[in-house]
A and B are shown apart, each in its own frame.
Chain A
Amino acid sequence: MKKISFITIYAALLITVSCKKDSDFLDVPPKQVITAEVAFSDPNLVLSILGDLYNRQRDFSSLDGFTNEPGWRTFADFSEAFPSENGSYFLVQRTGWGYNEWAIWDYTYIRELNLFIQRATAATELTDADKNRFIAEGRFLRANYYFELVKRMGGVPLITEPLDYDFSGNVSVLQVPRAKESDIYDFIISEAEAIKGLLSVGLTDKSRATPGAVLAMEARAALYAGSIAKYGVTTPQVALSGGEVGIPSSMANGYYTKALAAAQAIITGTAGSYSLYRQLPDLSDNFANLFLDKNSSESIFVEDFKANGGKTHGFTTNDQPYSISDEGLDAGRLNPSLNLVEAFEKLDNTYAPLATNDAAGNPIFYTDQLDIFAGRDARLAGTVLLPNGLFKGKRTEVFAGYQLGNGTIITSGDATLPQDVPGLGRVQVVGKDGPVNGAEFRTQTGFYIRKYLDPTVGSGRRGRGSDINFIRYRYAEVLLNAAEAAFELGQPAVAAGYLNQVRSRAGLTVPLTVGDITFDRIVHERRVELVFEGHTLFDMKRWRLATVVWDGNQMTVADLVSNIGNARKRNTQPFGLWPYKYYNPGNINNGKWLFKEVKPSPVTGANRFQLGNYYSQISDDILSANPKIVRQPNQ
């Protein structure tokens, strides 16, 4: 009896448990995945999704680099700098770029942006203000990525909705052909026009989309499209009959007008208050500081970093002067070239090479190394750390050896290897910071980089890293964009006004007159103002100057010091300027410095930009997956 009741109870228990519905038992909501409805119900969750999308933006030069590409090296190409690291000499030894160089094709990112926009639009529990801002940010990121794609690849498939496969076996609806190059630019411009009103002018977070960022993107994109239309006629080979590459020249004025209007919307202050950074009395320090100051009034859209907060970069570690390094031997990789340094004009608006020899060919002697650079554009010392330049309260020690009265040069392979100098005994004969041919992590051109170099204590350590922002769009570029657009529209007076604003901040107080404004001036101004900010390649491409300045021929010193300021000047190999200490007791110049233009010995190749490099290769994988995509011209 007792047994039976036990069995009954047991059976009853079993039945009740086993009668639980299968779906209740099996359908357990996963704890590590948040559904779209949940995620898009809370602004903080949406922001965390958006944060990931912001992080995946693509720049040309990036302080924290990309997979297999350290940040500093993204600044080092195009003969504007020399890479002082044994593993990176290929930059100056190769004789050109592969057709697949600079190619990107991240449609995963575009799909996720499209999904983000779709889900944010469908969200029901967000306030309208939040929703509009999120949608505008998603559309801004998408337009900005299409801009990056069109700069590198030309017209690409324009996909603005998330595509889904219906498992029918027919994928042709997913195979979208390339849009025209002009269509992509039109899309960027129309998106910018559509979303600028969705964002409030009061937004202050410069690492997120603001009306200023949207307009700056629009101005740059319209300017690029205009110049491709105008200057594309000089390279008729770089075009496809379907318009996927190349823009008809008749569209140039329309784009320039849009570029000027968008830039002027920022300049007149309708998109928020931006101004040229003028905080420090020393104009060079002021220029350097504009990149260091997180509250800079000039930055419009930035990639933000935070020390001790998880997002830092090694730019300062990699590029700090060797003798002032926080991290032992880790230093000195990015060395600006003499080619770039010569381009900074004198304060009277004229171009002149640095005076190393007098008319008779005899060396000119300088008491201080910095004297040779005196009287130049303040941006020179703000961009480049010159020999004997000041960083973190210390001066760099850059000299290549002793030169005696009879012309003999005494040098060695390292600062720690002293040599006999007659009359001085055994002394150190090269600077701790270089230059010695092939001595990595020290300058081999005589120069170090100053732009973005962080003077904060500890910023040069690998562990801490630096948190200097990378400025994607800044006010000075907007002014230069406006100047270029105005110049191309036949308004040189307007162009001169904008150029002079930028130039006076750099100490060039003699204003350019209307007659001074030429295409070469515009090219020159962008080079010295915006070098190492990821513009070089795209500027040279859109003006179709890349095949001219990077023509694959070796350069001589005579080439280097002539035609400065000419937009078509050859720039295929980086040079250096090496200081020597003059030792000739009794001579009036004893102990002074003389300088020599030197091609660092690792520089063996010469940059050669081919017609097929204007638009990067679309890989065979992509062409196989989508037969509707046409190949690039010349490839």
Chain B
Amino acid sequence: MKIKFHHIIIALLLATTGCKKDNYDAPSATLSGHLIYQGEHVNVEYNQVPFQLYQPGFGKTGAINGTFDQDGAYSTLLFNGNYKFTIAANQGPFLWKELAGGKRDTLAITMSGSQTLDIEVTPFYMIRQATFTAAAGKVNTTFNIEKIITDSNAKDIESVSLFINKTQFVSGNSDNNIARTDLAGSAITSLNNISMNVTIPALVPTQNYVFARVGIKIAGVEDMIFTPVTKVTF
């Protein structure tokens, strides 16, 4: 078959129209920040404390879900517009303001370009001055606990745990620790100078360091609050 001039025209037309770009650009504005209390990061378990972002008046009413990192960091890519940020009930080792009728308070966020926004929360407890040292096949730690919420919302310590792991993901999740010791809340007499230790098990393949952190399990709260992850070399 002979290729005629108008065939080429049609092919060109198809090619040009077919290459039209998608209607929407991908979201490009980054919203990021940390969970903080008085300027300090609130450390939580990786991927376990979720937050929700709603964009009212646009599309479906479902939330954009995300979770906080170990050091309380979060980041999400959004379109420019107005959002509302909230954390679901009973999530996180901190108090989140509640409105009348048990509704969760929201934080209005206007996105126009990227922004950094730290989320101020009030944790039940904070762990202070934690030090980690390795000696004789053990990781030793000493730390103080500060009880932040002391009013009617105060909650007791259920237990305190020292976790170590081969990687920098350290928590009570069975994948995220190779050894742990627990200290029952009832055994804690003073909140200052608490010391704990955990035996380092055989590491395969061998490495001369572990990552350690201490977490507090608060009675009636699912998520633990932690110290920052510390690399302990031995």
Contact = CB atoms under 8 A, between A and B. Distances in A.
Interface of A: 95, 236-237, 240-241, 552-554, 572, 604-606, 608, 610-612, 619-621, 623-624, 627, 631, 633-635
Nearest to A547: B222
B68 to A, nearest CB: 15
B174 A572 contact: yes
A575 B63 CA distance: 40
B61 interface: yes
B174 A620 contact: no
The residue in B61, B90, B174 that gathers the most chain A C-beta atoms within 10 A of its C-beta is B174
Contacts of A633: 89-90
B173 interface: yes
B27 to A, nearest CB: 18
Contacts of B173: 95, 552, 608
Given A237-B222, A624-B61, A627-B61, A604 B175 contact: yes
Contacts, number: 50
A500 B193 CA distance: 55
A619 to B, nearest CB: 8
B62 A620 contact: yes
Interface string B78-117: 0000000000111100000000011000000000000000
Contacts of A552: 172-174
Contacts of B175: 95, 604-605
Given A623-B61, A633-B89, A635-B88, A610 B174 contact: no
Given A241-B102, A612-B91, A633-B89, 10 more contacts: A95-B173, A236-B220, A237-B89, A552-B174, A604-B175, A611-B222, A621-B60, A624-B60, A631-B88, A633-B90
B169 to A, nearest CB: 12
Contacts of A608: 173-174
Interface string B126-139: 00000000000000
A3 to B, nearest CB: 52
Contacts of B102: 240-241
A95 B45 CA distance: 14
A608 B62 CA distance: 26
Interface of B: 60-63, 88-91, 101-102, 172-175, 220, 222
A591 B220 CA distance: 54
B201 to A, nearest CB: 12
A169 B62 CA distance: 22
Nearest to B171: A552
Contacts of A634: 88-91, 222
A237 B90 contact: yes
Contacts of A635: 88
Nearest to A236: B220
A605 B172 CA distance: 12
Chain B contact residues, majority secondary structure: loop
B61 A620 contact: yes
A620 B63 contact: yes
Given A241-B101, A610-B222, A635-B88, A553 B60 contact: no
B174 A605 contact: yes
A612 B175 CA distance: 20
A634 B87 CA distance: 9
Contacts of A95: 173-175
Nearest to A632: B88
Contacts of B91: 612, 634
A497 to B, nearest CB: 38
Of all A-B residue pairs in the complex, the 6 with the closest CB atoms, nearest first, are A620-B62, A606-B174, A624-B60, A237-B90, A241-B102, A554-B174
A620 B173 CA distance: 28
B220 A237 contact: yes
7 contacts: A237-B220, A553-B174, A620-B60, A620-B61, A623-B62, A634-B90, A634-B222
A624 B63 CA distance: 10
A460 to B, nearest CB: 36
Contacts of B220: 236-237
A611 B60 contact: no
A552 B48 CA distance: 13
A608 B60 CA distance: 31
Contacts of B101: 241
B52 to A, nearest CB: 9
A592 B220 CA distance: 51
A612 B48 CA distance: 11
A624 B90 CA distance: 23
Nearest to B60: A624
A634 B223 CA distance: 11
Nearest to A573: B174
B117 to A, nearest CB: 23
A633 B60 CA distance: 20
A541 to B, nearest CB: 16
B161 to A, nearest CB: 10
Contacts of A627: 61
B166 to A, nearest CB: 14
Contacts of A605: 174-175
A633 B102 CA distance: 11
B106 to A, nearest CB: 14
A611 B102 CA distance: 18
- Among B89, B91, B220, which residue has the most Cβ atoms of chain A within 10 A? B89
A238 B62 CA distance: 21
A554 B174 CA distance: 6
Nearest to B174: A606
A605 B60 CA distance: 35
Nearest to B221: A237
A572 to B, nearest CB: 7
A623 B88 CA distance: 15
B222 A553 contact: no
A296 B90 CA distance: 48
A620 B55 CA distance: 13
Nearest to A627: B61
